[in-house]
Amino acid sequence: MLEETYLIRALIGGLAIALVVGPLGCFVVWRKMAYFGDSLSHSALLGVALGLATGMGVNLGTIVVCALFAILLVWLQQRRILATDTLLGILAHAALSIGMVVLSLLNNVRADIHNYLFGDILAVSWGDIYWAVAGGLFVLIALVVLWRPLVLATVHEDLARAEGVNTFLVQLGFMLLMTIIVSVSLRMIGILLITSLLIIPAATARLLSRTPEQMALFAGIIGVLSVIGGLWGSLELDTPSGPSVVVAATAIFVFSLPFTLWLRRSVR
């Protein structure tokens, strides 16, 4: 009975995240923002430290820190002080290091750093599930609302401005959506692995689709299959659940390559 309970929790949380990170990851791939996603997830450790130190909770602390990270990055980009990749490197590694230092100073708080870094979807609580479902639903609705301006700004930013799209607000909104999904998936997938789940299903879907809508749909489906396959592998082989989900996503990507090459040759 206990095993069934935590497996149900893991499935609900994993599927709630997978249905969102797939479509959201499409924009990460299109915009070539993989490094931003990686940097954002690194800054999440400072959010963990803030949440534990202040008592506000890990999820809320992570959202606050990641949101500030995104806003600060956009502001610094507008000032053109340094190249974006340089700013990302400075902010991400500074936040990661400060987070580790703060956690080491919290003598009265016990934190399992390994779970935050690599995730443990089988150990999540119902509270984590509520955060995942609520955050995932919010991001999914916001993504549907922002879909057209986001696609337009991604394809051609100048054309988007000509169409009346505020590209600055669209970019900021997209970063904040990524902030939310990184925050709510922290305990399940882990700081070091969440970017993989954003990129790999979307990259696989790109091989198989012809339109942005198809790619978003396929990415969501591949994300769901990755979570199911990863959980099954973790239970059967007694392997870490977060890395197992990423391995499952990678396996789908690898096996889709020959099919994609065959399909392209047959179309010719």
Give the SS3 label for residue 238.
Answer: coil
Between CA 208 and CA 166 the distance in angstroms is 31
How is residue 15 written in tokens?
């599927």
Q: 191 and 117 in contact (C-beta within 8 Å)?
A: yes
Instruction: For residue 209, count CB atoms less than 10 angstroms from its CB and return exposed for 0-12, middle for 13-18, buried for 19 or more.
Output: middle
Domain boundaries, the chain: 2-191
CATH architecture of 2-191: Orthogonal Bundle (1.10)
8-state DSSP, 108: T
Residue with the two structure tokens 């040759």: 265
Q: What residues contact 189, with CB distance under 8 A and at least 6 apart? A: 17, 119, 121, 197, 242, 245, 246
Give the amino acid at 133: V
* CA atoms within a 13 Å half-sphere pointing along the CA-CB vector of 209: 20
pLDDT tens track, the chain, 268 positions: 445 566 777 788 888 888 888 888 888 888 887 777 778 888 888 888 888 888 777 778 888 888 888 888 878 777 777 777 788 888 888 888 888 888 888 776 666 677 777 777 777 777 778 888 888 889 889 988 888 888 888 887 777 788 787 878 888 888 888 888 888 887 778 777 788 888 999 999 988 888 888 999 999 999 999 989 988 888 888 888 878 888 999 999 998 888 777 766 665 5
Whole-number pLDDT of residue 266: 63
8-state DSSP, 210: S
H runs (alpha helix) in the chain: 2-30, 34-54, 58-79, 84-105, 113-118, 126-155, 157-162, 167-184, 186-189, 194-208, 212-237, 241-267
Whole-number pLDDT of residue 251: 93
Give the SS3 label for residue 60.
Answer: helix
Between CA 121 and CA 78 the distance in angstroms is 38
CA 50 to chain centre: 20
Q: 113 and 106 in contact (C-beta within 8 Å)?
A: no
